[in-house]
Amino acid sequence: MSQTLRFLQFDCSEDSGGLASFEAMASVGAAQWPALQAEVAAVLDWAHHGFAGVRGPLEDDGDWDYDLHASLETVAALELDYDPAARRLACQATSDGLPRYTLTLTLGGTAGFALALRERFDLGDD
């Protein structure tokens, strides 16, 4: 049974030896942050349980591995106007900033892992 991902859209690259790398980045507001976390947890849960005992660097004969990072930024809208007397833009923040979460997930794996990942999460043919 496949699962469609809502936030993670993976770009895939493969080398001549059949190893694949899947990279995704998602940036969401506070309201979507729990759903994004749940989606990443679902992918990693699948990988940890479906390929248990074989996670590790591919160069050390692991079948799969991952890299996960996130950042939190405050995003505030700016009101811009041109001041012809000063011959420059004038800007001012219009409100308090809103939180924005950006997450990156990279999965690397063998051809078997890549095929299973594509099938499980309906990633299609890249």
If pLDDT is split at 50, 70 and 90, which confidence band does 93 have?
confident
Amino acid letter, 123: L
- Unique residue bearing structure tokens 């849960």: 45
Q: What tens digit of pLDDT does each residue of 51-61 get? A: 877 899 888 88
Query: Beta partners for 91?
Result: 80
Residue 116 tokens, joined: 């299973």
